[in-house]
Structure 1
Amino acid sequence: MVRSPINLPIEPLASKRAATYVRMSTERQNYSLQHQRVAIEAYAHRRGLSIVRTYEDSGKSGLNVEGRAGLLSLLEDVSSGSANFDMILVYDVSRWGRFQDADESAYYEFVCRRAGIDVVYCAEPFADDDSPMAAILKILKRLMAGEYSRELSTRVFAAQSNYTLMGFKQGGAAGYGLRRIAVDQAGKPRAELRAGERKAVQTDRVVLGLGSDDEVMVVNAIYDWYLRLKLGDKRIATMLNAAGALGEAGKPWTKNTVRSVLTNEKYAGHAVYNRRSSKLKKRTVKNPPDMWIRRDGAFPALVAKMIFASAQAERSERRRRYSDAELLDILREVHAEHGKISALLISTRAPAPTPQTFKYHFGTLANAYALAGLDTPEAFSYVESRRALRKIRIALVAQARELILAAGGTATVAAGKDMLRVNDSIILKIAAVRCQKEGAGNRWRLRASLAAGADFTIAAKLDPSNRHALEFYLVSMADHKGKWIPLPAHPDSPNPLNARRHSNMNDMFGALQP
């Protein structure tokens, strides 16, 4: 940095105190902060000015004052009367700002001048000239500073549009399941870029490649859950988080990140640019599809194009606003086709609103069924069985606790749903196992994860109506490692659990001795 040699005599009258304001938009800009400071200090030394304060905005656009803490602080000090300087030194008009309205630039300068503080542009030819011609030249400089940004914006847009048509990615993160890859001018991969990392060579371009196999599998699972199971964005995010699958940058999934995976065309391999635009720091706007710049098949696709198109059609259908009458007619159509109604049958009808849509309109599916006139018992099988199942579990837990206490044991509530700690040594799970249709017969399966942490499970096998317990099985969890534990369909079936079959709870607790 160029400074006054300390052995030079100080000007006898450094009568004016000055502040400096420096700004640089990007690190690669020629207007470096150091360059500005050297020029400003040289100007101040020649005129015997004493610099007492410096305001700085590094890496800030000059299109407006938003985010420019240095300029805002300067204006606040000037307006409040707390400024301890008589003038403000700025390298040139463009460093004060490239405001798209030249009057805005002039207004901030006027705020300072009104407080008796001049703004001086050290590198401009009119720095020490207050003639009318200098004022005209300053106005032209303000216009030129703003026009430079407009021209630059046009050139950048044209270049980015052309690069998109060539199949290159234009800025932003890669997205979950994708990777940014720098390629040379011949298209040869040079390096995979980490999050936030810039390409090392200016002439390189960036394309997208596939992420890990696990991430690709998660992306396809999202589409499967959305299309086949008819799950919503929030529900999918909840399931992914419950499964321990981390999202982009190791963060939890949200409905917004799921929606991005389901709607961004890069997952189908397409490069799309200008879907939204915010030129010259103006309000961001959504552009119509005919303004988009696109190159289909630019990148490897994570999901098949047909699946992606189905997801977009499904999304459009879900956004459709149904009247109550239309929704009730859909329920009647489903019931007429299948002879019954359920959330699963509603989900499999295409196109159709999801079960959540009916709950949103009518409160519950049961209310919707009733309003549609579907008051047959099977219409409420699922809804009512859930309610009945809850009541059965509560009753079974209470009965088990009473029997344990009556036998002289102890039973306290344990961590986990419907679990008891028996005699301070055994963790007992009480489960009501629903009857499910399987072809021409029935099946009963206990989900092992629901009994995680239990030593034993009392599995109450429900009748086909799922209202009453038929029999009980004492299941030692240590003997079962699978996801599901099938209960015997018949007393004479080869299932080993038949050896632990009981017609009621009363005679079960002797088997629980440790």
Structure 2
Amino acid sequence: MRTNARAAAYVRMSSDHQDLSIGLQMVAIQAYADDHGFSLVHTYEDAAKSGLAIANRTGMKSLLRDVMETPRPFDVVLVYDVSRWGRFQDIDAAAYYEYTCRMHGARVIYVKEMFGTTLDPMTALLKTMKRAMAAEYARELGVKCRDGQDRAIQLGFQMGPLPPIGFTRVAVDRSGHRRHLGRHQLKGSQSERIAWVHGPQWEVDLVRRIFRTYADVGGSIKGVARQLRHEEALTGDGKPFTEVSVGTLLRNEAYVGNFVWGRSDPNSKRPPSRADGVIEPIIPRDLWEEVQKKLCRRQYRRRTRAQLIQALRDQLEANPTLSQVDLEAIGIAAKKTYSTEFGSLRAALALAGRDLSLVRDHHKRRVEVGRAVGDRVQRDVIGLFRRHGIDCTPHPRSRIILLSGGRRLRLQLSWPHASPEGKRWHVLKKTHPRAELVLFVQMDDGPCAHSFCLQTAEEFRRLPPWMPEKPSKAFDALYSGEDVVSRLVALLPP
């Protein structure tokens, strides 16, 4: 039967190197749509996302949100097969999400399944069986993967992200040959295993100093983090130390020679896998135990719900239009802490008495001022470049400056936020619109630029999330138009 119905495609591929690529799914869906007279109007995609849960599947969540709109943007949802819809361990979840679409007038069709599109009992039975098969496949695969990981751990190999500093990775092949890997470099083949070894000596020395400093009388996580930021010390990912990263470092058993895997998964029914003494330790056992005892003694000092709300009230009294970014700059508590205790940071701010109308009005004014100042700064930068013989034009709909040779420079403005350590500027890691170069403009409290930072997009992505009042070497701050031009000329191809 041919129709003129509007169709949405939903495609998903896990990160387990399966052959069922997004492209293959789209070819099958497009062919089905052509054969049945459907017009594909939208594609919802979840690339490298597990089908076990909906939490991180932005494509699926967008689809379910759109299907409830009035008017509904599509009439049919086309999916490759039942497993692409999801491998939910509770198979009723898959049925519920399909029923949600059907309840709002959009059928879900699995284009590669043998059962039809009708709602007869046989189709319902086959769907239930296929959902159970998809769930069981995921469960068995998870068991096999975990067994393989456990075996690798017992053999003395490691996996997962490195600790903040102190270790680097080596890939070990079947013959025992070892080669060093960069921090984010992938291993060459599936047969290689990863082992952690000591990193540069200065990192090892810094780890030992952090443990000793915390163990000393009066030492605290907050004090250690503040001292490391003052020294402009960075983690292995190039980020400044925070209380969270220092706390993570002090609790990581890798520094005493043990590897623990699977502790952070709250949904796992299996205990964490561990292997003691498989890593060359950086910290002696007595210092490790001293630090752990001190951490345990201080756990009871965590703030209560009332104290967390009072901390927000104190900040709101000083700044009624407080935003999440302001709170990150102040550092009174992690967003995760408020989300765990109150469901979300927004809910906690509401309990603390934040007036949303004030926040919205303030945000609206900031957007208007930011747009006007951004337009002026963009004109000034273009004028500066042209006066120095650099051919450039503004993009009509964004803060992009088009340079000769097809290169694009993104202009990004940031205003200061107050913090206990002085002013800080939020470095927002935008990916759109796409650009090869980024000119980060550090504004003062008004409409004037304080300094500039001009880097390639790749360098910019590695910057710390906050720029202090006295920028570290990573920012390479520029304080004049001539400095900006010189830096741009150095970055442009001859």
Pairwise TM-score range, normalised by the shorter structure: 0.5 to 0.7
SS of residue in 2 equivalent to 1:51? strand
* Corresponding position of 2:108: 119
Equivalent residue in structure 2 for 1:241, among 229, 236, 259: 229
* C-alpha separation in 1, matches of 2:82 and 2:188: 32
**Separation of aligned partners in 2, 1:318 and 1:115:** 52
In the TM superposition, what is the alpha-carbon distance from 1:169 to its structure 2 partner?
1.0
Which residue of structure 2 aligns with residue 313 of structure 1? 293
Query: Among residues 16, 19, 40, which one is paired with 2:8 in the alignment?
Result: 19
Q: Which of 272, 295, 299 is the aligned partner of 2:279?
A: 299
1:449-491 residue CA offsets vs partner (Å, 9 max, x unmatched): xxxxxxxxxxxxxxxxxxxxxxxxxxxxxxxxxxxxxxxxxxx
Q: What letter corresponds to residue 76 of structure 2 in structure 1?
A: M
Is the CA contact 1:193–1:199 (under 8 Å) kept in the aligned structure 2? no
**Equivalent in the alignment of 1:275:** 263
Q: 1:244 to 1:49 in 2, by over 3 A?
A: closer
Residue 319 (structure 1) shift = 4.8
1:215: how far off? 1.1
CA–CA distance in 1 between the matches of 2:40 and 2:297? 65
CA distance in 2, matches of 1:246, 1:15: 58
Structure 2: which amino acid aligns with 1:164? I
From the superposition, tell whether residues 262 and 70 of structure 1 become closer, same or farther in structure 2 (CA, over 3 Å).
closer
Look up the equivalent residue of 2:54 and give its one-letter code: V
Q: How does 1:59-458 map to 2 (within 5 A)?
A: 59-128=48-117, 130-195=119-184, 197-279=185-267, 291-319=271-299
Q: Could you tell me whether the CA contact under 8 Å between 1:183 and 1:191 is conserved in 2? A: no
| C-alpha contact (below 8 Å) 2:259/2:279 kept by paired residues | yes
Q: Secondary structure at the match of 2:237?
A: helix
CA positional deviation for 1:122: 0.7
Task: Specify whether residues 53 and 152 from structure 1 end up closer, same or farther in structure 2 by C-alpha distance, changes over 3 A only.
Answer: same
Q: 1:188 to 1:230 in 2, by over 3 A?
A: farther
Paired letter, 2:193: R
Q: Give the distance between the partners of 1:37 and 1:81, measured in 2 at CA.
A: 27
Q: Report how far residue 230 of structure 1 moved.
A: 4.3
| Secondary structure of the structure 1 residue equivalent to 2:213 | helix
- What amino acid maps onto 1:161 in structure 2? D
CA RMSD of aligned residues (A): 2.4
Q: 1:120–1:222: structure 2 CA closer, same or farther, 3 Å change rule?
A: same
* Separation in structure 2 between the aligned mates of residue 99 and residue 221 of structure 1, nearest angstrom: 47
Q: Please say if residues 81 and 115 of structure 1, whose CA atoms lie closer than 8 Å, have aligned partners that are also in contact.
A: no
Give the residue type in structure 2 aligned to 1:297: G
Gaps of 5+ in 1: 1-10, 322-514
Identity of aligned residues (%): 40
C-alpha separation between the residues in 2 aligned to 1:104 and 1:316?
40
1:311 counterpart letter in structure 2? V
CA distance in 1, matches of 2:226, 2:280: 28
Distance 1:298 1:17, change over 3 A: same
* Partners of 2:71 and 2:281 in 1: CA distance: 60
Partner SS state of residue 250, structure 1: coil
Question: How many Å apart are 1:314 and its aligned residue?
Answer: 3.7
Q: In structure 2, how many angstroms separate the alpha carbons of the residues matched to 1:117 and 1:320?
A: 52
Instruction: Give the aligned length.
Output: 301
In structure 2, the CA distance between the partners of 1:82 and 1:199, relative to structure 1 (3 Å rule), is farther
Conserved 8 A contact 2:166-2:203: yes
Residue 219 of structure 1, CA deviation: 1.0
Could you tell me how far apart the structure 2 residues matched to 1:239 and 1:253 are?
A: 9
Structure 1 counterpart of 2:157, one-letter code: F
TM norm structure 2: 0.56
Amino acid in structure 1 at the alignment position of 2:199: G
| Partner amino acid, structure 2, of 1:312 | Q
- 1:117 aligned partner, one-letter code: A
Distance 1:223 1:111 in 2: 53
Q: CA deviation at 1:19?
A: 1.9
Taking a change above 3 Å as real, the CA distance of residues 230 and 142 of structure 1, as seen in their structure-2 partners, is same
Cα–Cα, structure 1 residues 122 and 215, in superposed 2: closer, same or farther, change >3 Å?
same
2:405 is matched with none
Distance in 1 between the 2:297 and 2:68 partners? 56
Calculate the TM-score normalised by the size of structure 1. 0.54
Going from structure 1 to structure 2, the CA distance change for 1:252 and 1:17 (only over 3 Å counts) comes to: closer
**Distance verdict in 2 for CA 1:203–1:247, change over 3 Å:** same
Contact (CA 8 Å) 2:257, 2:278: kept in 1 or not? yes
Q: Is the 8 A contact 1:174 1:208 kept in 2?
A: no
- Please tell me whether the aligned partners of residues 65 and 71 of structure 1 are also in contact (alpha carbons under 8 angstroms): yes
1:139 counterpart SS class: helix
What displacement does 1:250 show? Answer: 2.4
Deviates more, 1:271-280 or 1:214-223: 271-280
How far apart are residue 186 of structure 1 and its match? 3.2
Q: 2 CA distance for matches of 1:50 and 1:244?
A: 56
User: Structure 2: how far apart are the matches of 1:203 and 1:211?
Assistant: 24
Contact 2:78 2:110 in 1 (8 A): yes
Aligned to 2:470: none
1:327 matched residue in structure 2: none
Q: Structure 1 residues 111, 315: CA separation in 2 closer, same or farther (over 3 Å shift)?
A: closer
Query: What is the distance in 2 between the residues matched to 1:315 and 1:55?
Result: 46
CA separation of 1:93/1:135 partners in 2, compared to 1, >3 Å: closer, same or farther?
Answer: same
Q: CA deviation at 1:91?
A: 0.4
Q: CA distance change for structure 1 residues 52 and 254 in 2, over 3 Å: closer, same or farther?
A: closer
Q: Residues 116 and 311 of structure 1: is their aligned pair in 2 closer, same or farther, counting only changes over 3 Å?
A: closer
1:67 and 1:46, CA in 2 relative to 1: closer, same or farther beyond 3 A? same
Structure 1 position 86, deviation (Å): 2.7
Question: For residues 36 and 145 of structure 2, what CA distance do their matches in structure 1 show?
Answer: 41
What is the alpha-carbon distance in structure 2 between the residues aligned to residue 155 and residue 206 of structure 1? 19
Residue 53 of structure 1, CA deviation: 2.3
1:259 is matched by which residue type in structure 2?
G
Q: Residue 229 of structure 2 contacts residue 240 of structure 2 at CA under 8 Å; is this kept in 1?
A: yes
Cα deviation for residue 318 of structure 1 reads 4.7
C-alpha distance 83-174 of structure 1, shift in aligned 2 (>3 A): same
Contact 1:267 1:303 in 2 (8 A): yes
| SS of 1:248 mapped into structure 2 | coil
Partner of residue 323, structure 2: none
In structure 1, the residue corresponding to 2:274 is in which secondary structure?
strand
